[in-house]
Amino acid sequence: MARSLSRLLRPKSIAVIGGGAWCRSVTEQLVKAKFTGEIWPVHPRAEDVCGLKAYPTAIDLPAVPDAAFVGINRDATVGAVERLARMGAGGAVCFASGFGETDDGQQANTRLLAAAKDMPILGPNCYGMINALDGAMLWPDQHGCTPVEKGVAILTQSSNIAINLTMQKRGLPIAYMVTCGNQAQLTMAELALDLLDDPRVTAIALHIEGFSDLPAWQKLARKAHAQNVPIIALKVGKSTEAQTAAISHTASLAGSDVGADALLTHLGITRVNDLPSMIETLKVLHVSGHLSSGRIASISCSGGEASLIADMAHGTGLTFPPLTPTQHSGLSNALGPKVTLANPLDYHTYIWRDTEAMTRAFSAMIDPNLAVTFLIVDFPRADTCDPSDWDCAIQAAISTKAATGGTIAMVATLPELMPEAVAKQLIEGGIIPLNGLHEALEAARAAQKIAPQDADVIEPAPALQPETLSEAEAKSILSKAGVPVPRSWSGDLGTLTQHAEDHRGPFVLKSVGLAHKSETGGVALSLADAAAVNAAGAAMTGDAFLLEDMVTDPIAELLIGVTKDPAHGFVLTLGAGGIFTELHKDSASVLVPATREQLKQCLFKLKITPILQGYRNQPPANIESVLDAVEAIQSYVIAHQSTLEELEINPLIVTQKSVVAVDALIRKSHD
């Protein structure tokens, strides 16, 4: 149900309910921020709080508050929320803990939701929120936010991480800091959706511990894409639910974190891996929006720094395009014959302190086909040095931005060598200040735009008690779905020996009922005739067997697997198959449903791809037949999503002409 959150997040009047130190701190933060709206402390005994008139109960307030901070104990919180909802308040922050996060708090959580009815509540078990745009600080502690006219929004489930992020000294303008707590009612996706409607928000970062309500996340991603508001995510935490299907190789490859990664990619939300990278990426997005590509340039007055950034960018997907004739000519004119021209560029120190010459050199490097140009500049310590000698670099960067309109970042190789005052000055001039070379490269990677997929995410059905089908049953299902399988016969050893007598080999014989048969002696390959089949079967355990034609012209072996991740949906994994599955851990995953192009991109991420494409003049595999098989599996998964738990083909043997699924596993309940 859609709720209006405007009064809660952008209030004109705030009630602070509670007599403790936490509530007094909320009032102090509102006064300190010079909040221009009404502040109404609610205290059962005090006449005033921080010089403001206090009211004994919420019922005694002079008007209905837009927002309230409820800083009282768990049971009293439920009553206060009920009164606020009955009054028609715009929303409440529930500070108390002991609700849904504890075993004995479930009933209290149910009562809280019933008390709130349609009134929005943030939390419980959270610090609340900071709106630095309007000075609305529903926040019971010190923080580092300062007034801004526009900036980024950060949402997190951790109040402590939120506090720490407000204390950053990297120049990032924070417009909103929202702690989501237990998300008993308002989810992170719902809160972020509302923040998209504030035109003062330039980008959104999400610190996520887990997903719920996948359609809401999809709605958020599509709206953000349509409005061109960038969203990035730092996803932490791994659940054990997606690891329960350990019978297959796929389950070990596609754990819950792989599912989270696939979901974020499906949503078009870029994932970052740590808080510093999140802050630096937000600075890129705040100043310049999404970057157009991974094509970058670097300028420094040190050959060591030029080499360092070139090495550090290796494997990130970022590239340094060779200089164009225009760049080469402009740099040559600006720097003279003593400088070797290249990208990354070491321009030496011949022109240092000559702001006009530095501007010409920096401007010559700007090219419309570059996503961003890095100017590597490390500022000295102000306590022992004179940083004014670096003003020439600041002015040259800002002048270059004004002259060229290019996307420019000034990067300090060490995070502490970009002073906060300089960072703010650079942002005012349209320059992205980046603290740390590693973080800068990660930000350039993460700031590239990816579009959300059109297809809806499949919300997984509740966990089942599935059965594992026999290999023959699984292959029969796959064959009907359109996946090629080998000709086969089931039965006892005598029956299969007779089949081998009547048909031409080579054959494969498998003992029925064993998992990972190749590891337990339950499979024999390259059996030329009936005698070989009989001898192989006599050496195996069991009295039920499967005899198949053997594929004789393989180019490669692949794994195709699908697991049902209860938090993220169905995760489809492609990987190197056969004995190489767990030896090389060569795999890539996407969320179902995926387009054929996405599946192809996933396939081409594998290290085995060169073999599929005809490595060193060897014959290439039939890539289209691989994609046909993967699409057939995906269609089967979608059609049977309510009963399927897991599916795996390992290996799928790929030849020049076709593919063949030679081993298969399906775990499902009855349709």
Judge contact between 154 and 205, C-beta under 8 A.
yes
pLDDT at 251: 46
pLDDT at 28: 96
pLDDT at 241: 44
227, 597, 296, 587: which is closest to 448 by C-alpha? 296
Rounded CA separation 577/476 (Å):
21
610, 622, 609: which is closest to 657 by C-alpha? 622
Give me the DSSP letters along 492-548: -HHHHHHHHHHS---EEEEETT-SSGGGTT-EEEEE-SHHHHHHHHHTSSSS-EEEE
Strand 432-435 relative to strand 408-412, pairing = parallel
pLDDT at 137: 95
Contacts of 231 (CB under 8 A, 6+ apart): 192, 203, 204, 205, 206, 220, 221, 224, 269, 270
383, 467, 396: which is closest to 667 by C-alpha? 467
pLDDT at 243: 40
pLDDT at 250: 44
Phi-psi region of 200 (alpha: psi -120 to 50; beta: other; left: phi over 0): alpha
pLDDT at 583: 66
pLDDT along the chain (671 residues), means of 10: 87 96 96 96 93 95 98 95 97 92 87 96 96 97 96 95 97 97 94 97 94 91 96 78 41 65 95 96 98 97 95 96 97 94 94 95 97 97 94 97 98 97 98 98 96 90 86 95 95 92 92 66 91 93 90 93 90 86 79 95 93 89 96 97 94 94 92 72
Phi first, then psi, for residue 493 (nearest 5°) are -65, -40
Give me the DSSP letters along 128-167: -EEETTTTEEE-SS-------SSEEEEEES-HHHHHHHHT
Measured between its terminal Cα atoms, the distance across the chain in Å is: 32
Q: Output DSSP code: residue 55.
A: B
410, 450, 439: which is closest to 272 by C-alpha? 439
Alpha helices in 555-639 (DSSP H): 581-584, 596-603, 609-612, 623-639
Q: Which helix (H) or strand (E) holds 557?
A: strand 556-565
Rounded CA separation 77/95 (Å):
9
Phi-psi region of 513 (alpha: psi -120 to 50; beta: other; left: phi over 0): left
Per DSSP, the three-state class of 271 is: strand
